[in-house]
Amino acid sequence: MTGAATGDGPALLKVTGLKTHFPIRKGVLAHVTGQVYAVDGVSFEIRRGETFGLVGESGCGKTTVGKTVLRLIEPTAGSIEFEGRDITRIAKEEMRRLRQRMQIIYQDPYSSLNPRMKAADIVGEPLKVHKIVSGGALRERVEALFERVGLRPEQLDNYPHQFSGGQRQRIGIARALALSPSLIVGDEPVSALDVSIQAQVINLLMDLQEDYELSYLFIAHDLAVVEHISQRIGVMYLGRIVELTDKRTLFSNPLHPYSEALLSAVPIPDPGVTREGRVILTGDVPSPINPPEGCHFHARCPYATERCRMESPSLKEVEPDHWVSCHLHEGNVADATELRPERT
Ligand code: SF4
């Protein structure tokens, strides 16, 4: 299976050939005049206790993958298996119950928290809605969650604007944890925070993962952010995963030219060390309304050939657990590396 999780235990989440297309409607009769190919055939697995990082520039479809996995957006095709069960087409009511086990943390902690609700009510809301606890027990549970994410119980009755950005994200994490989920989708959960606060929140997420055997689908545009927390990483470009492997392999031996470019933009902590052969990406991600023929990356790729403009590469396992979608890497990796032309 493409992007299969390796290591112990069965996959908690298995996504196969996922497509999410949005119709473009025009005119009074709202005729469909085209499609936005936001997610166009994505497959990966996440096992229990694992973090799978999904990276790519904005507009590549990674957030849509996260929301489709939770069925907050309906998939167009493909399948989503969660805890061994196909949830792709189960009824909304059943999905609502199941969603207790699948939570999301959003990018902007401020806009995702109701400014008119006290922090205690925000964190306790899912427990109330799902009728899990009430009254004094609810307050106690919320207090415990507050402390677990590093907030003080005295802050329970404060409103979101009385917290810092990092603290607001901790409230979002406490709310996501309230229903004891097994999977949390983090949609750019630290991107809006200062770098020093980012590290604190990532460390908190890692501690919680260890305590509760949580699995994360961690979505970010920045490889440096997913590096610390992820075991495996999928690199997305224009609705598709173009490279998928474990973190160490991706950082030491990126094979897709797009991964190479993303990676060469990651700063090296040691000021005395520079990255050789830095790849600067030019241009923007093309529109998912009208994706280019052939390889979607060809207009920005320093290695593009005529074949790349005509023929779309498929995602292939070029070495154990290392999947790449590029004509330069088909079959034997050593041969493909030799085939790589000099960058111009
Ligand atoms: Fe570049 Fe061609 Fe590989 Fe696409 S298939 S990434 S254009 S070399």
**Closest ligand 1 atom to the C-alpha of 242?**
6
3-state class of 171 per DSSP? helix
Ligand 1: centre distance to CA 244 (Å): 16
CB of 190 within 8 A of CB of 198?
A: yes
Pocket of ligand 1 (CB under 6 A): 256-257, 295, 297-298, 301, 303-304, 308, 313, 326-328
Ligand 1: centre distance to CA 159 (Å): 50
For the chain of 344 residues, list the mean pLDDT of each consecutive stretch of 10.
62 96 88 91 96 94 96 96 94 90 87 91 93 90 96 94 94 95 95 90 96 96 90 96 96 94 75 59 82 93 94 95 94 47 45
**Closest ligand 1 atom to the C-alpha of 295?**
4
**Closest ligand 1 atom to the C-alpha of 308?**
2
Closest-CA residue, ligand 1 atom 6, reads 326
Q: Is the pTM of the predicted complex or chain greater than 0.75?
A: yes
Ligand 1: centre distance to CA 299 (Å): 9
What order of strands is seen across the sheet that includes strand 102-105?
Answer: 102-105, 183-187, 215-220, 51-55, 232-237, 240-246, 322-324, 316-319
